[in-house]
Each structure stands twice: as C-alpha cells, then as structure tokens.
C-alpha cells in the first residue's frame, strides 16, 4: 500500500487494526472489589445466549464477524474444548464477554473482550482483564495476544498497553459495512458514518 490516501468503496468500512502481544504474565493491576461480579465459564455456550451478549457488547463498535457465521460454524469454535467463553455476570445477567482461544499450541488469543454499557466506568474492565491474564497464563503458553481496531472503543489500545501488552503490528482491514448487511442497526456506531 502506497503512502497517502486510499479510497474505500461505498458500502464498506475500513479500520486500522493494531496487533498486541504479551510474552510473560503481566503484573496484576489494582482493581475494584465488587462482590456482585462473577466471571463464569460457559462450557458449551448456548448460541443464542452468546449472540445476544456479543451484540450487546459489540454492536456499538461494529463487531460483526460472529454474526455472519452459521450455527454449525459458530458451535465448532465455541464448543471446542480449547476455546474458553466466559460471561461477566452482574445482578443475574451477563454484562461482559471474555473469549480465550488456546487452539494454537503455546499461545492464547484474547478473541473477544468487552462490556455492555451497563458496566462502563465501573472498573469491571480491569477486573475482567486481571482474570483474563491469570487464566491465559495458567496454561503452558509463551504468548498471549489480541488485536483491536479503530472502530473499537477509543481507549482500547491504551487499555491493552496498560494491561501489559506490547503493540507489534498494524494492518488495514476493509469489510462490508455490517449495518448495510442487516447485522447491526443503521444507527449503530455513529463514530463510523455509513457511506452508501
């Protein structure tokens, strides 16, 4: 890709993706003590439950990848014993999503990590990240990694850096706009206006 501006076709979205990794367990960061939070592993996660939480956490940031999958495709990932899906439960409802993928030997991918608006600003993100790091490094891995993009929460990269990850790679991703594909409401993610 040459320096300068590159056109993005109408009906598509573009994002700068930052890849980050951690090569050793990061020190636990200070967190809020909230006894109403419970991080619960959802073994054989129900697909309807997962999709609902995925939408509630990711719709504002145009998370769409899992919404394009058939039941069989999604179940093949979520029901693999090397993939761990957790809900952050608060007052009887899952309000956070944590997904760890150990399918590549010696590594763990932090596939999805986020909260619903109900827990924004409460310290739940730090609380959940401390547990994500502990669970990832409880396995025999040498690398814990994640990627995020400019469509995500504007504080995502800084949060991952504070958590002990190091930025290692950057890419541009172009995809069909999920709002125009019917995967998200047309008014989702106003920070990324639709161009038809």
Q: Does the residue 181 lie in any domain? A: no
71-78 and 47-58 helices, crossing angle to 10°: 90
Q: Does the residue 109 lie in any domain? A: yes
Q: Does the residue 192 lie in any domain? A: no
- CATH code of 108's domain: 3.40.630.30
| pLDDT of 1 higher than 90 | no
Structural domain span for residue 81: 12-26+35-176
Confidence category of residue 61, pLDDT binned at 50, 70, 90 = very high
Confidence category of residue 2, pLDDT binned at 50, 70, 90 = confident
Tally the domains of the chain.
Answer: 1
Q: Does the residue 69 lie in any domain? A: yes
Q: Does the residue 143 lie in any domain? A: yes
| pLDDT of 57 higher than 90 | yes
Residue 83 burial (C-beta neighbours within 10 Å; 0-12, 13-18, 19+): middle
- DSSP alpha helix (H) spans, 59-195: 71-78, 124-137, 156-162
Which tens digits make up the pLDDT trace of 128-184?
999 999 999 999 999 999 999 999 999 999 999 999 999 999 999 999 999 999 999
Q: Does the residue 3 lie in any domain? A: no
Which tens digits make up the pLDDT trace of 18-54?
999 999 999 999 999 999 999 999 999 999 999 999 9
Q: Does the residue 119 lie in any domain? A: yes
Q: Does the residue 189 lie in any domain? A: no
Which tens digits make up the pLDDT trace of 108-129?
999 999 999 999 999 999 999 9
């Amino acid at each position: 890709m040459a320096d300068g501006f590159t056109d993005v076709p109408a009906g598509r979205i573009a994002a700068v993706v930052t890849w980050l990794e951690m090569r050793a367990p990061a020190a636990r960061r200070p967190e809020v003590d909230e006894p109403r939070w419970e991080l619960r592993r959802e073994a054989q996660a129900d697909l309807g439950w997962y999709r609902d939480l995925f939408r509630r956490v990711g719709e504002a940031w145009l998370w769409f990848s899992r919404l394009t999958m058939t039941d069989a495709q999604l179940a093949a990932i979520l029901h693999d014993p090397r993939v761990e899906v957790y809900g952050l439960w608060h007052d009887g409802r899952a309000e956070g999503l944590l997904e760890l993928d150990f399918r590549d030997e010696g590594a763990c991918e932090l596939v999805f990590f986020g909260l619903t608006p109900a827990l924004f600003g409460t310290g739940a993100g730090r609380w959940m990240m401390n547990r994500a790091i502990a669970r990832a490094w409880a396995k025999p891995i040498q690398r814990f990694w994640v990627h995020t993009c400019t469509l995500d929460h504007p504080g995502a990269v800084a949060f991952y850096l504070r958590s002990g990850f190091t930025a290692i790679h950057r890419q541009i991703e172009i995809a069909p706009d999920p709002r125009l594909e019917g995967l998200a409401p047309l008014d989702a993610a106003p920070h990324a206006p639709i161009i038809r």
